[in-house]
Structure 1
Amino acid sequence: MEIKNFNKYKIKWNIESETVIKPGLETIQAALKKLGNPQDKHKVIHIAGTNGKGSTIAFLTALAKAHGLSYASFTSPSIVDVHDQIQINSIPVTEKQMDEAFSRMQGSGISGMLTDFELLTVTAFIVFEMMELDIVFIEAGMGGRLDSTNVIKDSVAIIPSVSIDHTKFLGDTVEKISWHKAGILKPNSQLVIGPLVEPAKRIMYKEAEEKKANILEYNKNFRIKNHQYIFKEYSYSNLYPQMLGRHQQSNMALAITSLLVSGFELFEPKVQSAVKSASLPGRMEKIGENLYMDGAHNPASVDALVETIREKFPNRHIHLIVGILKDKNYVYILRKLEEIASSFEFVNFQHERALNATILYELCLNSEKSITLDASQVDLKQYSENSVTIVTGSFYFIAELKEKTGI
């Protein structure tokens, strides 16, 4: 799976990597050792989970910014291209910084050792090592235990949610997937968890016991009640996130808790302004009047989207513009969306794993439906006057639509 605009750096600096997924840490650890282990320089908060990772990082970065901290983040997938996956103080990495990182890698002998995502992970660590930072936020690419980001010696770990996704690599049960996520927990450290289902919770507590680590659980050790955050002696009132959805309450609380246990002092007015300003491309992102984009690409995220639509837009005409990857549970996603949709527009988009829009059209039980053969032909303003339009299905689809329509 190609990382957009990453190849130009590989070609320029003559560094090879494979466009495959190979879970495991031995190779990336060997590559990082050749580079002097740049991943060990900074304090880290590491996030894994099926959904909620990006939103939690959005809250983390907003909180860090509001408190004048210098911070960096590594996230996936890209929204525009590779540069937005590596950010310093919420500013995408520059070509100059990428060139500096590749220049260091060129002479290290790591060419040909890594997959694309492993190479990108190494690039991020080198970019961060060149900076003086108070905190780094790292999002696991897939799973956790065997994900290339899991090379950090010490970190506070966050797991917002666990549900079924990436079954080819992580397994087909919540327990198997939870085992992968729990693997980011480091010995004698802190794990901050969201409202997990019981089987996932059991795996987390077992992992924590084995590693002599401490778990902080949402609604048990810390909570949000009547827009107030409460944890031990800490209390912050009047917290109103602009990101839509009930699940954002727990994501917000996870971010606050993990910064507190990382040793940072937080102040109520700054927490209030931070959670209000936190936003994330592709997560109920407001593009225009009555126009939103949300990358609901698996059962748990589409459940959250449908709940949010019911809560925020009752009795409104809901027009859905949909593009999905073929390796996702698209039948479940479609059936769930049919519960709230007034009309559908299924769109073909240019990705090697994109599902043909015709398949969705034929499966769809809604009578008001259409097919658009190219993302550039989508008219986002067509329905926005009288109805709520939501673009959903895949972050790759959202990214292409943004690019082709110039939003």
Structure 2
Amino acid sequence: MEIKNFNKYKKKWNIESETVIKPGLETIQAALKKLGNPQDKHKIIHVAGTNGKGSTIAFLTALAKDPGLSYASFTSPSIVDVHDQIQINSMPVTEKQMDEAFSYMQRKGISGMLTDFELLTVTAFVVFETMELDIIFIEAGMGGRLDSTNVMKNSVSIIPSISIDHTKFLGDTIEKISWHKAGILKHNSQLVIGPLVEPARTVVYKEAEDKEANVLEYNKNFSIKNHKYRFKEYSFSDLHPQMIGRHQQSNMALAITAMLISGFKLVETNVQTAVNSAKLPGRMEKIRDNLYMDGAHNQESVDALVETIQEMFPNKNIHLIVGILRDKDYVYMLRKLEGIASTFEFVNFQHERALDATILYNHCSHSVKSITLDATNIDLNKNSDNGVTIVTGSFYFIAELKEKTGI
């Protein structure tokens, strides 16, 4: 999969990398060694899991921003292009910073060693190395144990959730997938986990035991009740996240806990401001009245989306605009969405793994459905008078639609 605007730096600096996905750490560790191991220069919070990674990092960056810490983040996928995946103090990396990183990597001779995502991961660490940063937030790309982000010696780890996804690479059971996610845990470190299903929880605790690490669990070691956070001697009241959905309560609590155990002093007024200001594109994102975008793309995230729609719009007509990648469990997604939809509009979008809208149309049992062959022809206003329009199914679909409509 091509990372938008990444190839121009590869071509400019004559650095080659493969577009395939190759789980494993040996090659990226060899490349990082050539570069002086920049991944070990800063304090890091590493986030893996099936859903909630982006939201948790949004809370983390807000918590770092309000008291004036210097921070950076590496996330995926991109919203606009490669620059927004590497951010310093919530600002996308500049072309100058990218050029400096690529120039350095070219001189060190890492061309041809890596895949695209490995090269992007290395680029982020090279960009961050030269900066005075209090903390870096790293989002695992896929899985965890063998993901290219899992290369630092030490980090506080967060796992917000674990469910079935990326079965081709991670396995087809919760236990197998959990083994990959739990692999981000470092020896003698700390892990913060959300409300995991029992098979996943068992695997994570076994990993922690093997690595002599400490686990802090939501609703066991820390909690949010009646908008009040509690953990040990810490207590923060009147917390009202702007991000929509019940699951954001636990994501918020995970971020607060991770910052505290990372050694940062949090003040209640700062926490209140931070959690209220935290936002993330494509997570039940309000574009305008009666128009939302949510990148739900697997079982757990679709379950959360349906629950949120039922809570927010119990008496509204729901018009769903849907584009899905073909390697996702689209039948499950359709069955869940059919329970709350008034109408469906299935859309073809320009991604190499995009599922043909005709397939979605044929598998959908809803009586009111249509196909749009080109995302530029979507009418985002046609349901505004009598209901709510929700765009969903893939972050890549949302990103393309935003670009084409200028939202």
**By the TM > 0.5 criterion, same fold?**
yes
Identity of aligned residues (%): 83
Structure 1 unpaired stretches of 5+: none
Deviations 1:51-99 (CA, angstroms, capped at 9, x unpaired): 0000000000011101111100000011111011000011011111000
Deviations 1:247-293 (CA, angstroms, capped at 9, x unpaired): 00000000000000000000001100111111000000111111100
**Is 2:98 the partner of 1:98?**
yes
**Is 2:204 the partner of 1:196?**
no
Q: Within 2, Cα distance between the matches of 1:55 and 1:162?
A: 15
Residue equivalent to 2:295: 295
Q: Within 2, Cα distance between the matches of 1:394 and 1:157?
A: 26
Q: Secondary structure at the match of 2:19?
A: coil
Q: Match for 2:397: what amino acid?
A: F
Q: Within 2, Cα distance between the matches of 1:93 and 1:213?
A: 34
TM-fit CA distance, 1:385: 2.6
Matches within 5 A, 1:74-223: 74-223=74-223
Deviations 1:330-385 (CA, angstroms, capped at 9, x unpaired): 00001100010000110000011000001111111111111111111111122123
Matches within 5 A, 1:55-66: 55-66=55-66
Q: Within 1, Cα distance between the matches of 2:43 and 2:172?
A: 33
Q: Within 1, Cα distance between the matches of 2:313 and 2:277?
A: 22
Q: Within 2, Cα distance between the matches of 1:55 and 1:268?
A: 20
Q: Match for 2:250: what amino acid?
A: S
Residue equivalent to 1:16: 16
Q: Secondary structure at the match of 2:108?
A: coil
Residue equivalent to 1:242: 242
Residue equivalent to 1:331: 331
Q: Within 2, Cα distance between the matches of 1:93 and 1:67?
A: 22
Q: Match for 1:369: what amino acid?
A: K
**Is 2:274 the partner of 1:274?**
yes
Q: Secondary structure at the match of 1:245?
A: coil
User: TM-score, with normalisation over the residues of structure 2?
Assistant: 0.99
Q: Within 2, Cα distance between the matches of 1:134 and 1:212?
A: 26
Q: Match for 2:406: what amino acid?
A: G
Residue equivalent to 1:362: 362
Q: Within 2, Cα distance between the matches of 1:253 and 1:336?
A: 28
Q: Secondary structure at the match of 1:107?
A: helix
Q: Within 2, Cα distance between the matches of 1:87 and 1:236?
A: 28
Q: Match for 1:125: what amino acid?
A: F
Q: Secondary structure at the match of 2:14?
A: coil
Residue equivalent to 2:31: 31
Deviations 1:195-228 (CA, angstroms, capped at 9, x unpaired): 0011111111111111110000000000001000
Residue equivalent to 2:283: 283
Q: Match for 1:152: what amino acid?
A: M
Q: Within 2, Cα distance between the matches of 1:386 and 1:32?
A: 55
Q: Match for 1:238: what amino acid?
A: D
Q: Secondary structure at the match of 1:296?
A: coil
Deviations 1:148-196 (CA, angstroms, capped at 9, x unpaired): 0000100000000000000000000000000000000001110000000
**Is 2:316 the partner of 1:316?**
yes
Deviations 1:1-40 (CA, angstroms, capped at 9, x unpaired): 1111100000000000000000000000000000011111
Q: Match for 1:353: what amino acid?
A: R
Q: Within 2, Cα distance between the matches of 1:155 and 1:406?
A: 38
Q: Match for 2:15: what amino acid?
A: I
Q: How many pairs are equivalent?
A: 407
* Superposition CA RMSD, Å: 0.5
**Is 2:61 the partner of 1:69?**
no
